[in-house]
Amino acid sequence: MRLILDDYFVHRLGTRLVESKRIVIICHVNPDGDALGSGLGLWHLFRRMGFDAHFVVPNGFANSLAWMPGAKSIINFDRQGDWAREIIATADLRFFVDFNTNQRMGKELAEYIEKLPKATTVLVDHHPMPDQYDFVISDTSVSSTCELLHSLMNRMEWLLWLDKDGATCLYLGIMTDTGGFRHNCGNPITFFTVAELITKEVDVLEVQDRVNNRQKEQQLRLLGYCLSEKMVIVPELGYGYIVIDSEEKKRFQYEKGDVEGFVNMPLAVKGIFFAALFMAGDGDIKCSFRSSNEWDVNRFAREGFNGGGHSMAAGGRFTDKTLEQAVEFFVQQVENHRDELRQLALKLQAED
């Protein structure tokens, strides 16, 4: 079904948009395809509507997404701090996309915004339990924030201004957040949305090619190494995980975005429905979790991993543990859910 917003909500948001002098769009830290797709999709739309709009990201993103239409106009808070702060401070309308709490912007950016004079805030997101904002458009049943954003544009009668570039960004967000339409896309509305985007002349084959077929040699070698040497599979509990340390990142000349999709690899093993990836960061340990059935990784990530997400994809991080300690903690947490995981594994085996 289409996004349901009452007429009063639509009127208030439309009025506030018309009254705004500058709009800033902000996404979460370490932006992925859905975050960049929704941010750039909105940016293209508002620029076409004649607004002074800007898109700020907390930090850098994968090179595989740098080709996206409008990506060169993105303002990086980490690298262009003064310019980003001026844009945010002078914006009277702030759109937050693909996160449910300001903390997902990163500590520095979140603290900066909290100290600023109040501006109208709009949240568009598909993660559970969103914080309070002036306008909240939240739906955990959709495939992605990009799909939800398209529904918002439709309800607000903004689609007239959505061009090929904006539609391409939204399509990419839906495609990547569903793993290439392999999960979280069982609702026909997802494909109706994609069909409508394609009518805007989105080059589907080009998007697929740029996202999936432009990887570096060392990136593929790292994947092969992880599958051969680093993937642990525990079939009786239906889970698997991969661990990447600092030396391995150096050996394979790791760059941001190189392990995108690696966490999904254990899910390709028959009988595995829960996957994790642990990687040494700069002063922290990054954790990613994925699920292919009713096992809720959002709940799991909130149980001691300082993270969250949604039921089929979530993440977390540690700043007080070594990589080995993080993995040990993970294994212990899994053991705490042994009975539940075992039942799910047996159910999957019975259905096979």
1 within domain boundaries: no
Based on the fold, state whether residues 261 and 313 are members of the same structural domain. Answer: yes
Q: Is residue 2 part of a domain?
A: no
Q: Which domain holds residue 229?
A: 217-351
Domain shared by 168 and 201, yes or no: yes
For the domain that residue 118 is a member of, what is the CATH number? 3.90.1640.10
Final residue belonging to a domain, choices 178, 212, 246: 212
**Is residue 167 located within the same domain as residue 225?**
no
Please, are residues 242 and 278 in contact by the beta-carbon 8 Å criterion? yes
Distance CA 253, CA 293 (A): 34
Give backbone dihedrals phi and psi of 342, rounded to 5 degrees, phi first: -65, -40
The residue assigned the tokens 């960004």 is 169
More confident residue, 6 or 24: 24
Q: Is the pLDDT of residue 183 over 90?
A: no
Which residue is associated with the tokens 């212990």? 332
pLDDT digits (tens, 9 = 90+) for 36-74: 999 999 999 999 999 999 999 999 998 889 999 999 999
Beta partners for residue 121, in sequence order: 94
Q: Is the domain of 36 the same as that of 169?
A: yes
Q: Residue 276 — φ and ψ, nearest 5°?
A: -140, 150
pLDDT at residue 332 in the model: 97
Give yes or no: residues 196 and 225 share one domain.
Answer: no
Same domain, 204 and 312: no
Indicate whether 76 and 174 sit together in one domain: yes
255, 283: one domain: yes
Residues 224 and 180 reside in one and the same domain = no
Q: What is the pTM of this model?
A: 0.89
The rounded mean pLDDT for the chain is: 94
State both tokens at 135: 């306008």
Residue 15 CA neighbour count, 13 Å, CB half: 6
The secondary structure element, H or E, covering residue 283 is none
